[in-house]
Amino acid sequence: MSRFVLITPSSDFEQKLRQAVAGGLQGHVKSLPASVLTGDPASVLDQLGLERPEVLVFGPGIAIEDALRLALVVDVTFPEISVVLVHDDHPDIALQAMRAGVRDILSPLADIASIRAQLERACQAFATRQRTGRQAPREQQNGLVIGVFSPKGGVGKTTVATNLAVGLGRLAPMGVVIVDLDLQFGDVGTGLYLTPEYSVLDAVSGAATQDSMVLKAFLTPHPSGIYALCGPRNPADADRVTSAQVTRLIQQLALEFQYVVVDTGPGLTEPSLAALEQCTDAVWVTGMDVPSVRGLRTGLDVLQQLNLMPETRHVVLNFADSRTGLSVADIEATLNVPVDVSVPRSRAITLATNRGVPLLQDRVRDPATKSLTELVQRFDHEWRAKSQRKLHRRVVVR
C-alpha cells in the first residue's frame, strides 16, 4: 500500500515530491501516468481502493478539467482521502477546485520543504476525517461553537481566542476555523500574522450564503492547520454585516468544522449577541482589575435577564497577578461565578502577540502556555465526557 498517490507527467515534480516524503514522512509514493485521467475513472478508483492512500496529488502538466472531474468522483467514493492540486493559486481555479473536493492547492514552484509541510497537513486531515468517520453518533452533530467575549476591551480577548484556535488545531487538524466578529477593529489577522484576501463581508454575501464550498474559498489557511475568517479592512464595512447574516454564517461553519471559534468585539454589540445565540460554549475574559471585573458582572447580569447564556461557560482570568490587590475569591464573589482558568501576566505572551505567532503555535515554555493549554483541554471531547464535577475548580494566582 502507498500513503501517497501522484498523477503527473512531470518527472521533475515527481522527484521533488519523492524527496519531500523521504526527508521526513512515513510511507511510499505511487505514481500513476497522466493518461489515467482520460480513461475510465473506474480504473483509477480500483487503483485507489487497492493502494488505500491518504493523499492523492494531481501534479503539474495535466488538464485541470480532467483533474477536477476525477477529484469530484474521488471525493464521493473515498471522502477521507485528502486531494491536493498542484496549480497556480488563481481565485477562479481555487473555487472550482474546492467545489470538486480538493482540500488544498500547492504551487508548482514550491520547494521540497513546502511540499513536505503540505503533505503532512494533508495526512493530518486524513487522520481526522477517518477518526470522525468512525464515530457515527457525532457525524450528524454540529461542531462546537466557542464564543470569546468581554464587555470591556484591552483584556487580551483576541490573544485568548487565537491561542485557543491554534491549540484546538492540534486536536482537529484542518477542522478549526476562527471568525473575527470585531467588525470594526478586529485583530485576528494581525494576531495570526495573516494578510487575508477576503473577509467576513465576502463570506456573508452572494453565493457563499448558499454554498459551503464557496464559503470555504473565502477562508484563509494558517500554518498551524486552522482556517481564519478575518474582519473587514474598512471599519465602515461593519455596518454592512447584519445580525441575520452572522447567524447564518456561524450555522454554516458549524456544519463544516469541528470547532468554530468566534472572537467578538468588546461590549454587547448586535453581531456579538447574534453569535452568542449560536454558541455551545462562551469563554468570558476578564483582567484582574476592578473595572474589568465589574464590567463582566454587569454583562453577565444583562445576558442572564435576556436568557442568552449558553449551556456551558468558561471564565478566564487574564493578566493574573497576585500583586494587584485582588484575590480570586474577591473576583468570584463579584462575578457570582467561579474562575476556571488563570493566565498569568507574561512577557512571552507580549512577545508572541507582537510577532503574530500565538504562544501555543511555538510551544514556548512558559506558565502562560500551560494555562492556555488547560483552556484548550476543556473542549476536548474526551475531557468533556468525564465527570463535570471538575468543570469549575478554584484557580491559583501567583
Q: What is the pLDDT of residue 392?
A: 57
Q: What is the pLDDT of residue 151?
A: 86
Which residues touch 141 (CB under 8 Å, ≥6 apart)?
none
Class of residue 15 by CB neighbours under 10 A (exposed 0-12, middle 13-18, buried 19+): exposed
Q: What is the pLDDT of residue 4?
A: 93
Q: Is the dihedral of CA 130, 132, 137, 143 positive or negative?
A: negative
Distance CA(382)–CA(376), nearest Å, equals 12
- Which residue in this structure is represented by grid cell 486531515? 125
Q: Which domains does the chain have, with CATH numbers?
A: 2-133 (3.40.50.2300), 144-392 (3.40.50.300)
> Could you give phi then psi for residue 221, rounded to 5 degrees?
-75, 145
Q: What is the pLDDT of residue 136?
A: 42
Distance CA(338)–CA(240), nearest Å, equals 38
Q: Strand 82-86 to strand 104-106: parallel, antiparallel, or no bridges (unpaired)?
A: parallel
Cβ–Cβ < 8 Å for 148, 164: yes
Distance CA(139)–CA(118), nearest Å, equals 26
- Which residue in this structure is represented by grid cell 486552522? 226
Q: What is the pLDDT of residue 58?
A: 95
Question: Nearest CA to 160 among 391, 351, 342?
Answer: 342
Torsion of CA 253, 257, 258, 262, to 10 degrees: -40
> Mean pLDDT per 10-residue run, the chain (398 residues)?
88 94 89 86 80 90 90 84 86 77 87 91 81 48 88 90 94 91 91 90 84 82 90 88 92 93 90 91 91 90 82 87 84 89 90 90 88 92 66 56
Ramachandran assignment for 113, one of left (phi > 0), alpha (psi -120 to 50 degrees), beta (any other):
alpha
Q: What is the pLDDT of residue 56?
A: 93
**Reported pTM:** 0.66
Neighbours of 241 (CB within 10 A): 23
The DSSP-derived string for 169-180 is HHHSTT-EEEEE
